[in-house]
Amino acid sequence: MIFSGIRSAENFRDKMWSSFNKFWTSKRTAKAKKLGFKTKEVIHLAAIVQKETVKADERQRVAGVYVNRLKRRMKLQADPTVIYAIKHKMKNFDTVIKRVLYKDLKVKSPYNTYQNKGLPPGPITMPDISSIQAVLNPEKHNYIYFVADPSNPGYHLFASIGRQHNKNKKKYTNWLDKQGVYR
C-alpha cells in the first residue's frame, strides 16, 4: 500500500511538472524576461497578487502596483507576506488574521516584504493562472499604493501619491474599527 501512495505522489509531481512546462511557452518566458523576472519570480509575485485580491478583474492593476514598486526599488510592503510570515512562525496556517497590525510589520522573516526588499524566497500560496497572467500582463499606471475599499467589498482604492493613500487608508481603518475588527 505504501508503494501505491508513493507512485501516486510521483504521478502527481510528474503531471504538475508537465503542466508547468506546457504553460511556460517561449512567449510567456519572453514576457517574464522583458519584465525582469525569472519564471519562478513570476510565481512568487503571482502568489502575492492572488492573496491580495480575490477579484480576478483587479489582479492586473494590483500586479502593476507591485511591478511599479519593484522598478522603483521600493519594498513590496505586501500584507499577505506578513500574514504568511506570522503563520509560518506560529507553525499554524489555520490561524485567521483579518487585520495586519503595525507590530506585525516587524516580524522577522525572509517572507516579510515590509522588512526585506524584493520578492520573498518562495511563493506564499499556489497562484492560479489568472494571477500568473496578471503578473505577465500588468496594468500600466502610476499607482504605487492601494488599500481595501470598504464601499466596494473585495476591491481596492489605488493611489499614486502618499497623501491620497493615507486618506484611503484612513477610510479603511475607520471602517475596520466600526466593524470591531481588531485582529
Round to whole Å and give the CA distance between 109 and 116: 8
pLDDT tops 80 at residue 6: no
Residue type, position 167, single letter: K
Round to whole Å and give the CA distance between 128 and 113: 21
> Average pLDDT, stretch 35-54?
97
Write down the pTM of the prediction. Answer: 0.93
User: DSSP state, 140?
Assistant: P
* 112-164: pLDDT as tens digits: 999 999 999 999 999 999 999 999 999 999 999 999 999 999 999 999 999 99
- The C-alpha cell at 92 is 499554524
pLDDT of residue 2: 54
Please give the angle made by the CA atoms of 172, 174 and 178, to the nearest 5 degrees: 115
Query: For the chain, what are the domain ranges?
Result: 26-141
The SS3 of residue 55 is coil
